[in-house]
Amino acid sequence: MKKFILLLFASFLFASVCNKSSINSAYKDYYKFQQQYISAILDNDKQNEIKALKGLVECGEFLKFNVSDYKQKLSKLTKKQKLKTKINTSKAKPDITPSNKHEKFSKYIKIYSYNPLKLKIPNNNIRFFTIKTKIYKKIIDLPNAIIHKAISKKLNNGIYLKIAQFNKKTVRIVYYSKNKFTIRYTLKNHILTITVNSPKKHTIKSVLAQKPKAYKPKSKVIVIDPGHGGKDAGGVGIKNRYEKIAVLQISKYLKNYLTKKGYTVYLTRNSDYFIPLKKRTHFANLKKADLFISIHCNIAPKHNRRIHGIETYFLSPTRNERAIAVARLENKEIKGLNYLDQRVILNFLNRDRMIDSNKLAIDIQQGMLSSLKTKYNYVRDNGVRPAPFWVLVGTQMPAILIETGYLTNPIESSRLFTSKYQRLLAKGIAEGIENYFRKNP
């Protein structure tokens, strides 16, 4: 019996709890567990490793991350633990999983169709309003709701639909078009149905004016970091295309867009010369930058010509093999510090900054995709990923690294060297940055 009480105590002690009261709190816990996990591996502490893995799986599943690697590792470790337990006692462990899981998940909205838009929402209070800027916008806010991922659709007659998490508690539905249009909605038993009528002569009167959070672009400093340069060509792709050339051109366009919007912008290099990685981050810290944006082009493993797409990385310890492979490629300049040592440094990173970097990465990725898709097909979203990039370590502000495309893919590599494509990429990044500041002034 004494053994049983001890065991009970031990399971409470090692029970990992993920705070699932909001996406933000779950994010914070996820990164906390990620750091715990790395420490546990470095210390070879199996108990803490299990505890961290449980937390990662719990938070990760809540955040809809792919946690299959963590799960596998956890089941291997717990099998070993169970064997040990059986030797000690035959009593089973008590089930201490919280029973309110279902409640938390009901905040998620469920979409049945897009045109007409039919969805299940958590409560019957919605806010509807109209905005006329250069384009016509109809906005519906769903309070106390969560959506897994942002949705962007082109409907008929040049009307676009976007559904995304607007802030911690609100999901925002936006219809927009260059031409006037109207929408009608019905709401019954948590089922919201929205029909679009287009184009019509009259618009529904604004019932609530949008109150955008005030921020002054002029007060924001952005450092753009064109990767590589000089003796370091970066990736070399099809037809001997150098990464260092394309990224400098994209960075210069980006600087123009951001300057026009009123930001203060610096480039870590403005022509073809070499700068060591740590000087780039030092420069950003010196300029007291609010954001650090590092721009790169990718090379596929074994120069596979079929792989293509855009990825945005934010700084984080990671176990994703593909992200690690990219990080190694970008980090090859670092000598004398082995991979494990790099992980130790990453372990001490500021968690809140990682969360901001993650948010920034999401907005920029979305910005690039929307911008490119206005003129190009064959635009692939490879998503936002965590990666321990060296160039991002040491910055004191949210920092991200964009892989703008693969120089080993015939279509993407030639696009990356045309000014039209470079400009659209830059425009998308600039819009992503603006969106980020709008939400996080």
- Binding site residues, Zn ion, CB under 5 A: 227, 234, 296
Q: How far is the CB of 405 from Zn ion (least distance, A)?
A: 12
Q: How far is the CB of 393 from Zn ion (least distance, A)?
A: 15
Residue number with CB closer to Zn ion (52 or 326)? 326
Residue number with CB closer to Zn ion (145 or 364)? 364
Q: How far is the CB of 332 from Zn ion (least distance, A)?
A: 10
Residue number with CB closer to Zn ion (196 or 426)? 426
Q: Angle, nearest 10°, between helix axes 68-88 and 2-13? A: 160
Residue number with CB closer to Zn ion (38 or 293)? 293
Please answer whether residues 226 and 247 qualify as being in contact, where contact means their C-beta atoms are separated by less than 8 angstroms.
yes
Residue number with CB closer to Zn ion (181 or 390)? 390
CA dihedral 229, 402, 439, 437 (to 10 degrees): 10
Q: How far is the CB of 247 from Zn ion (least distance, A)?
A: 7
Rounded to a whole number, what is the distance in angstroms from the first to the last CA of the chain?
57
Residue number with CB closer to Zn ion (114 or 417)? 417
Q: How far is the CB of 233 from Zn ion (least distance, A)?
A: 10
> How far is C-alpha 173 from the geometric centre of its chain's CA atoms?
20
Residue nearest to Zn ion (CB): 296
Q: Whole-angstrom Cα distance, residue 247 to residue 307?
A: 19
Q: How far is the CB of 403 from Zn ion (least distance, A)?
A: 8
Please answer whether residues 391 and 225 qualify as being in contact, where contact means their C-beta atoms are separated by less than 8 angstroms.
yes
Residue number with CB closer to Zn ion (227 or 237)? 227
Rounded to 5 degrees, φ, ψ at 26 are -65, -40
Location of structure tokens 């936006």:
174
Kind of pairing between the strands at 117-120 and 191-197: antiparallel
Comparing C-alpha atoms, which of 274, 390, 276, 384 is closest to residue 327? Answer: 390
Bridge partner residues of 329 (DSSP): none
Neighbours of 77 (CB within 10 A): 16
> How far is C-alpha 327 from the geometric centre of its chain's CA atoms?
17
3-class state of residue 24 by DSSP = helix
Q: How far is the CB of 327 from Zn ion (least distance, A)?
A: 11
